[in-house]
Structure 1
Amino acid sequence: MWDSKFKQALPILEKIESAGYQAFFVGGSVRNCILAISITDVDIATSASPAVIQELFPKVIPVGIEHGTVIVRQDRQSFEVTTFRSEGSYSDKRHPDQVTFITDIDMDLSRRDFTMNALAMDRHGDIRDPFDGQTDIHNKKIRTVGNPTDRFMEDPLRMMRAFRFVSQLGFTIEADTLMAVKSSIDWIDSLAVERLAKELEKLFAGGYYMEAIGLCSEVNLWGYLPVFNEIADVSAILGNISAPFNRLYEVFTYIKLTHPAISIKDMIKKWKQSNQTYHATSQLVEAMDVYKKAGLTNWLVYQLPSERYDSFIRLVKVLLAEQISIHQLNQVETSLPIKNRQMIDFSGNDLIHIYPNRSKGPWLQTYLNEIEYAIVANELANNYTEIKEWVMKWHPPEIE
């Protein structure tokens, strides 16, 4: 029954209990254990205060100590340990205005978002379930703990989490909870886009993403998300996605290619994403453009980083209904005459020697780009003498 993650964290529970305090595994790890699906993170709740945890363990990182949360390092792994707590109101719709440490695990569980996450398991595998979360898990229902409107008012991101769980677990949202979502959906406007982006990425990556997309259209979520609210036929466009997208930049690429007027920079800016996401989106858009025009060419594979191969394969499947394999991409990559520009047996200084009377300028980069393309496309051997002859043929010095 015990997942390896639980086994790694078990000594933490045992040490806390040996000091006279309570400790439980809580939240998503317990839910996933019941569902017999993979567990990524194990969180621990305890009656011990953060100060006690710092005394008990040699390696403790106080990441959110004001809210009772620390990270305990155990066997080179990190485990989040949070003191049982009750919470006040959420005036910023994200963090509780005040936190009170308590000793009652059931009261601590009452502040959780959904019944399926309001579970605690002790070191013997016995589960505490004060809100009948196991029944909801069995019935594949997403139900808030207590009044759904109150839960969403405290933190509207919980609505996004509900959509994400629909996608990941294939559950449905319970009727009263769904009704509260529909009446509270405009609160999504109050959320930081960085928080929305994390949930949105997971939503598009789930195995039941189509059900989640349909639900998001039903409650008009898209009307409150940047960029999506600019697409007139957004529900139909997203409804055409025939496979999950694992990364947000794949979603951005899909939007760009189905709505060319929307700029990549605009999407990145409105979603406050990193330069890495910008470059990944740009690389995939360019690769898709090349593929549509010429197929799987040397130049396409040369320009596309290998870490984008899986994303490219998914986009080809969704946008063009075509199948390409990682093996095909690797074959082309292996056959490339060069892997990067540094391997070219010719430089800018060599060009200057050919054209000594020309001032340095953009022409240097243009010529180097032409050389690079010709070599990659197997139109030119990567040999100094042949490159020099090729340059002089296409750009005779006497004409310069």
Structure 2
Amino acid sequence: PMISSNVFAADKAPLPGVQANDIFTVTNGAGKSVRVGVFGITEPIPRSAVPLSYVSHIAAAEEQVALLAPQVDMLIALTHFGVDIDQDTARRFPDIDLILGGDDHEHMKVEPGPDLATIFKADSNARSVQVIDLYYNTASGELRIEDRLQPITDATADDPATQAEVAHWAEIAYEGFRAQGIEPTEVVAVPTVDLDGFANSIRNGPTEFTRLMLNGINATATDPELSLMFSALIRMDDVIPAGGEFTMYDVIRTFPNNFDIVSVDVPGAALNGILSFGAQSAGSGQFILTTDNVTQDAAGAWLIEGQPVENTRIYRVGTTAEAAAGFANFGVTIAQTHELDLQQLLIQQLQTTFPPIEATSPEAAKELTPWEQFVEEFYRWLVSDPE
């Protein structure tokens, strides 16, 4: 079943096909049974496709733990929060035995403390799975957890039924793109360097891929002193290797949330706060990527082109419409909305940075040595028509 204990329809009714919890029984070969309870809590979705309402995850967890713990032998929480909130949940509710989480996009195993739920997460986009075996002693009530991280690579055999289902939905998506005039298999560019868009890379620092986008934003904005964007906007979570094909589908999966490029005016005090917030959010989608001219000195003060950010100054910044909306409460104003959105800018940057390789004739592809030229000319003379 689909489980959600704190997310509901806009009228606060349960979403169709979704239940607040589940209890199931597992029986071993000796006839011994274990009852397992499961509930799920999720952070609010900033851009949901349908209107939703939420209950505080703490209130929902409190209700579910009180309801399920007396009925089950082990209790599992499915969560979608940063690991700090997962640890807080484990500490608040020691009756939870195991937390299977998301949101961080990186695999981890975190033990918040003695007799508290262990937290497990895998890498996003099925790049790995956590294999967790639970051993429950029905006599003592003791639970033992064994775990291993299993990377999913090309060497991992596909399950035929799963692969068929994936292909079915992928084709539906491709048909939808084509109906909009987009050919998802079209090759936009062939990069000459690795373009690393893995979440655990871009949410911790710049890569050639993020520099490509930030330089593009900076070139698009009007007289910017710097450019920035939230790392969460880059959703590809993959790498296009040097020599690989960057397709239209890659463009779409990089920026499914497609926002305009804007130039904004930012008070210096707000800019200092924004940059500090972004740096403190390393590892999450709120980590802020910037152009390379933004640095920090030994004391942690922010510098632009080596000069301290002045609280009393106004700075022109290139960014996205999403970031501008989020910064509006800090006195940030939009000076100009540009014609390019993120997808269009990415295409432009790829094609400008990695122009198509001109086709060459076999003869031109290799520069001949003088001896090779003599041999070639001699051969042509031998086989030429005497007349």
| Alignment TM-score > 0.5, same fold | no
Write 1 or 2 for the structure with the bigger share of strand: 2
**The structure with more helix, counted as a fraction of residues:** 1
